[in-house]
Amino acid sequence: MKVLFLITARGGSKGVPGKNLRRIGGLSLIGYKAISARKSSHCSRLIISTDSPEIQDDARGHGVEVPFTRPAELASDTAKSGPVILHAMEWIEREEREHYDAVMLLEPSSPFARAEDYDAAVDLMRRRDANAVVGVREMEVASTVVGPLDADGRLTAIIDKMHAVRAQTGQRQTLGQEVTMNGALYLFRWDYFKQHQWIYQDRDGVYGHVMDRFHSVEIDEPVDLAWAEFLVAGGHVPLDPWRN
């Protein structure tokens, strides 16, 4: 398979200013994604979509191609990922007359995915003939006991779910291990995304690659960055996969 690895990183960030260039263990979030991508045996090409000259320079320093600058209208706080991905794909088709079998979307805010994760995702796509594979982590709390409070602060919605499960099984909770997306990787077939412009269109053709909780860290707020720094400093996330 020809797989285009695409890092997406805009310059602005409200939650953590300058987030994509922030460093953990001496390496920028861009660097984590770039180094692990380049080590993947399935990376046919690695590019970045960004509006920031500083991010472009950092990416080039890690061997990432910068074929274009992301348009300003796709770099705002409200810009969605779908149009950003589509812009990169259409630019490649139009300007380079190139086409890939799949895209591996990499977001620097989830820095700790390793080359072995990307390789496993591609292998899973091949094995299952999947339209998409996304990184996931196991949930610590079952969805049976998660829900909103009502306007008066009652747990009615959660209790209704608990009653439904108990009525079916006679037990409080019998669900198997549940997972949620971790933001670490999104692999999808080129033509599938071009057609639907959404990863999750095919309800039976999207698979999950399970990663442990430490490598599934997502950085959205300063406390997340502090947690990531703690994991690296304490050896919970060894840096060997990102050393040359």
DSSP 114: -
Reading the block at residue 153, the tokens are: 């602060």
Distance in angstroms (rounded) separating the CA atoms of residues 44 and 76: 29
Exposed e or buried b per residue across 2-41, where buried means at least 16 C-beta atoms within 10 angstroms of its C-beta: ebbbbbbbbbebeebeebbbbebeebbbbbbbbbbbebbe
For residues 171-189, give the mean pLDDT: 84
Nearest to 52 by CA among 95, 112, 108, 118: 108
Q: What is the pLDDT of residue 170?
A: 58
Share of the chain above pLDDT 70, in %: 97
Q: What is the pLDDT of residue 167?
A: 81
Using the predicted structure, report yes or no on whether residue 43 has a pLDDT greater than 80.
Answer: yes
Distance in angstroms (rounded) separating the CA atoms of residues 173 and 162: 7
For residues 13-31, give the mean pLDDT: 92
Q: What is the pLDDT of residue 169?
A: 65
For residues 210-238, give the mean pLDDT: 96
For residues 33-59, give the mean pLDDT: 97
Q: What is the pLDDT of residue 76?
A: 85
Task: Determine contact, residues 121/133, Cβ cutoff 8 Å.
Answer: yes
Q: What is the pLDDT of residue 177?
A: 86
Residues facing 135 on adjacent strands: 209
3-class DSSP state of 37: helix
Task: Determine contact, residues 135/117, Cβ cutoff 8 Å.
Answer: yes
Helices (H), the chain: 29-39, 53-61, 81-96, 115-128, 156-169, 190-196, 222-233
Burial of residue 58 (CB within 10 Å: 0-12, 13-18, 19+) is buried
Report the predicted TM-score, pTM, of the whole model to 2 decimal places.
0.92
Other beta carbons less than 10 A from residue 90's beta carbon: 11
Share of the chain above pLDDT 90, in %: 84
Question: What digits encode the pLDDT tens for the residues 133-176?
Answer: 999 999 988 888 999 999 999 999 999 988 888 887 655 555 67
Q: Domains of the chain, with CATH numbers? A: 3-138+178-242 (3.90.550.10), 140-176 (no CATH)
For residues 13-33, give the mean pLDDT: 93
Question: What digits encode the pLDDT tens for the residues 56-112?
Answer: 999 999 999 999 999 999 998 888 999 999 999 999 999 999 999 999 999 999 999
Average pLDDT of the chain? Answer: 94
3-class DSSP state of 36: helix
